[in-house]
């Protein structure tokens, strides 16, 4: 499941459940649509409620990073825990992980 909060300049996407091949495809479609429409300065992926993520999740992050960069924005990941944070770090995306973001 995915909940998107959009204030025009900042999109926060709260991801829920497991991010595998099937979920990543659904998330990708929804996020690409809102990125194309809103052209955000910042996309925040809130992973607090993600229990599992495989390489499809890394691909999801990379693709959204490119999409947001293409419109002049940035991406941050917050609340990534344990094995998910470690997978993000091992993929070389650790600079995207933040421990705190301003609301």
What is the predicted pLDDT for the residue at 103?
47
**pLDDT tens profile 54-85:** 999 999 999 999 999 999 999 999 999 889 98
Q: What tokens does 32 get?
A: 């690409």
What does residue 59 show for φ and ψ, rounded to 5 degrees? -65, -40
Round to whole Å and give the CA distance between 12 and 64: 13
Query: What domain range includes position 47?
Result: 2-98
* Domain membership flag for residue 60: yes
103 inside domain: no
Residues facing 78 on adjacent strands = 46, 98
pTM for the structure as a whole: 0.89
Instruction: Give domain status of residue 23, yes or no.
Output: yes
Token pair in block for residue 54: 């495989």
Would you state the pLDDT for residue 61? Answer: 95
Provide the number of structural domains found in the chain.
1
Residue 48's pLDDT band, with cuts at 50, 70 and 90, is very high
Beta-sheet strands, E only, within 2-103: 2-6, 10-19, 42-53, 74-78, 97-98
Which one has a higher pLDDT value, 35 or 101?
Answer: 35
Q: For the domain that residue 38 is a member of, what is the CATH number?
A: 3.30.750.24
């Amino acid at each position: 499941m995915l909940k998107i909060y959009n204030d025009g300049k900042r999109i926060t996407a709260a991801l829920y459940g497991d991010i595998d091949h099937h979920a990543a495809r659904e998330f990708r479609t929804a996020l690409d649509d809102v990125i194309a429409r809103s052209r955000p300065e910042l996309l925040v992926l809130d992973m607090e409620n993600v229990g599992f993520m495989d390489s499809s999740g890394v691909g999801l992050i990379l693709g959204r990073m490119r999409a947001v960069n293409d419109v002049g924005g940035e991406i941050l990941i917050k609340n990534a825990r344990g094995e998910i944070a470690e997978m993000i770090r091992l993929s070389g995306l650790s600079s995207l992980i933040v421990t705190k973001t301003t609301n």
